[in-house]
């Protein structure tokens, strides 16, 4: 992991919603306006998502935003294609408690209306709002209100630009050794050109995105943009598709960039309920150590031919219970057997190792119970809750005691094989050995 790339931070939100800092590491001369001063460290990478319903349907939109906020979204974006959408914004903002971004395409007046309604950030697309006077009007309105702007140069929206040829040729030479050189040249050229309008008006509250549906374009584009512009980067793979494939594309692209210190806020996009975007975005950041985990982390074995309990169902049930009932970031391991289980569960605070319709439960390396398969879920959860209480009372520390489990005798206590082998020896049952 490389350290975070320093950027000029932007601040999204207000006193009521709380202010989310995006980026940082370069002293912000505009931070004073938000009551913040001095050089700032990069903020934790934030997670964004976008509502899927109509913004003008106020009750549904508010309900969706509440759901996404509860799932952990730091910032929520809404589409405002029509005036009835921006007219709904004031009410939506007053009923929600997370910074709201207005996603504006084609109609610069939607941006002005959204700003007037009290939105916390505007997203502009240079591909479809490029009239200089219109862009200047939005910049000036944002400057008056202290609202940042994300400039999003998505591949799909700039590819047909009529003026792309000249600058692209020039820059094409710079990127001639890169697979996506032509695309990069268009994106960089568009950004340079567009941001000049902002700089000329002394406006620097800017975030940049350069999304594509191709994960490799995303990696290359953001890598080049991070070298050239001092602004925080909003990462994303656009139109990533269904969750199953979209997850892989997004994690490959965003994970690669974040591991190189590139990226300050992320949006994973799926053709699915946006709640998954938030959950998977957070999990990506937890996995990279870029956010402090909230709630338990579940480690589970993939199972193999040694398994003697219904581990898949158990893992699903444990996962659900942990999500609902554990808030402390403890590590919990659910392992299928004692052969590799203890080693793989190293570092877990609470662990269960299954055997022949049984499970042995450990808490920070200490064996606390051996229970039948049907009791594993309840007992494991009660041990997790008891451990959570101890942590809260200051009587235990997370990850403090390294798990040093002496594997129980697989032929003995758990009965993994012993009974079968003993029975076979006594001639009570047949022991089938492959190849004999």
Q: Residues interacting with ligand SF4, by CB under 6 A?
A: 301-304, 306-307, 335-337, 339-341
Min CB(302)–ligand SF4 separation in Å: 5
The least CB distance from residue 298 to ligand SF4, in Å, is 14
Q: Which residues pair with 212 in a beta bridge?
A: 237
Residue 277 φ then ψ, to 5°:
-60, -40
Q: Write out the two tokens for 161.
A: 């630009």
Q: Which is nearer to ligand SF4, 174 or 304 (CB)?
A: 304
Residues 6+ apart with CB under 8 A from 366: none
Q: Distance between CA atoms of 269 and 264, rounded to whole angstroms?
A: 16
Task: Kindly state the tokens that stand for 251.
Answer: 């994690």
Q: Which is nearer to ligand SF4, 242 or 347 (CB)?
A: 347
Q: Which is nearer to ligand SF4, 260 or 303 (CB)?
A: 303
State in angstroms the smallest separation of the CB of 307 from ligand SF4.
5
The distance of closest approach from Cβ of residue 334 to ligand SF4 in the complex, given in angstroms and rounded to an integer, is 9
Q: What is the DSSP letter of 131?
A: -
Nearest distance from C-beta of residue 303 to ligand SF4, angstroms:
5
Run of H or E residues at 156: helix 155-158
Q: What are phi and psi of 104, to 5 degrees?
A: -115, 130
368: CB partners within 8 A, 6+ apart: 361, 362, 383
Q: At a CB cut-off of 8 Å and minimum separation 6, what does 144 contact?
A: none
Q: Which two tokens stand for residue 9?
A: 């931070």
Q: Which one, 254 or 300, has the nearer CB to ligand SF4?
A: 300
What is the spatial distance between Cα 249 and Cα 237, in angstroms, rounded to a whole number?
7
**Closer residue to ligand SF4, CB minimum distance, 302 or 435:** 302
Minimal distance, residue 365 CB to ligand SF4, in Å: 18
Shortest approach of ligand SF4 to residue 320 CB, angstroms?
A: 20
For 238, which DSSP code? T
Question: Angle CA(32)–CA(33)–CA(35) in degrees, nearest 5?
Answer: 60
Residue-wise DSSP of 304-336: -TT--S-HHHHHHHHHHHHHHH--S--EEEEES
Residue 162 token pair: 């009529």
**Residue closest to ligand SF4 when measured from CB atoms:** 336
Cβ proximity to ligand SF4: between 58 and 298 the closer is: 298
Closest CB to ligand SF4 among residues 156, 343: 343
Q: Closest CB to ligand SF4 among 298 and 398? A: 298
Q: Which candidate, 151, 127, 153, 154, places its Cα nearest to that of 138? A: 151
CB nearer to ligand SF4: pick between 107 and 306: 306
- Shortest distance, CB of residue 247 to ligand SF4, whole angstroms? 23
Rounded CA separation 117/103 (Å): 14
Q: How far is the CB of 413 from ligand SF4 (least distance, A)?
A: 16
Q: Using the 8-state DSSP alphabet, how is residue 270 labeled?
A: -
Angle CA(177)–CA(264)–CA(18) in degrees, nearest 5?
160
């Amino acid at each position: 992991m490389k350290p975070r790339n320093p950027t000029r931070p932007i601040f999204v939100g207000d006193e009521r919603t709380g202010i989310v800092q995006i980026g940082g590491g370069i002293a912000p001369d505009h931070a004073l306006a938000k009551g913040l001063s001095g050089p700032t460290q990069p903020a934790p990478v934030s997670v964004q998502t976008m509502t899927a319903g109509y913004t003008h349907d106020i009750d549904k939109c508010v309900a969706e935003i509440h759901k996404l906020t509860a799932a952990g979204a730091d910032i929520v974006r809404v589409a405002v294609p029509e005036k009835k959408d921006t007219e709904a914004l004031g009410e939506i903002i007053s009923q929600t408690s997370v910074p709201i971004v207005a996603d504006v395409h084609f109609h610069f007046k939607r941006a002005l209306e959204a700003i007037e309604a009290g939105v916390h950030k505007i997203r502009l697309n240079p591909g479809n709002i490029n009239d200089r006077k219109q862009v200047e009007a939005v910049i000036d309105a944002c400057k008056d209100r202290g609202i940042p702007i994300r400039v999003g140069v998505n591949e799909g929206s700039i590819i047909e630009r009529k003026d792309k040829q000249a600058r692209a040729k020039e820059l094409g030479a710079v990127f001639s050794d890169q697979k996506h050189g032509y695309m990069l040249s268009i994106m960089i050229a568009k950004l340079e050109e567009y941001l000049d309008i902002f700089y000329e008006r002394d406006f620097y509250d800017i975030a940049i995105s350069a999304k594509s549906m191709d994960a490799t374009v995303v990696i290359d584009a953001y890598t080049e943009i991070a070298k050239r512009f001092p602004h925080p980067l909003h990462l994303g793979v656009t139109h990533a598709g269904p969750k199953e494939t979209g997850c892989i594309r997004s994690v490959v692209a965003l994970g690669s960039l974040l591991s190189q210190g590139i990226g300050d806020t992320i949006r994973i996009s799926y053709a699915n309920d946006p709640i998954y975007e938030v959950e998977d975005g957070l999990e990506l950041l937890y996995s990279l150590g870029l956010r402090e985990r909230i709630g338990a982390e579940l480690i589970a074995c993939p199972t193999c031919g040694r398994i003697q309990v219904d581990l898949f169902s158990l893992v699903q049930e444990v996962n659900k219970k942990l999500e609902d009932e554990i808030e402390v970031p403890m590590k919990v391991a659910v392992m299928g057997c004692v052969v590799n289980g203890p080693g793989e569960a190293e570092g877990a605070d609470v662990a269960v190792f299954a055997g022949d319709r049984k499970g042995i439960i450990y808490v920070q390396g200490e064996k606390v119970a051996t229970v039948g398969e049907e009791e594993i879920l309840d007992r494991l959860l009660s041990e997790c809750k008891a451990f959570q209480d101890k942590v809260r009372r200051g009587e235990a520390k997370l990850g403090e005691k390294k798990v040093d489990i002496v594997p129980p005798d697989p032929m003995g206590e758990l009965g993994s094989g012993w009974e079968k082998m003993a029975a076979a020896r006594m001639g009570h049952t047949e022991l089938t050995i492959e190849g004999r």
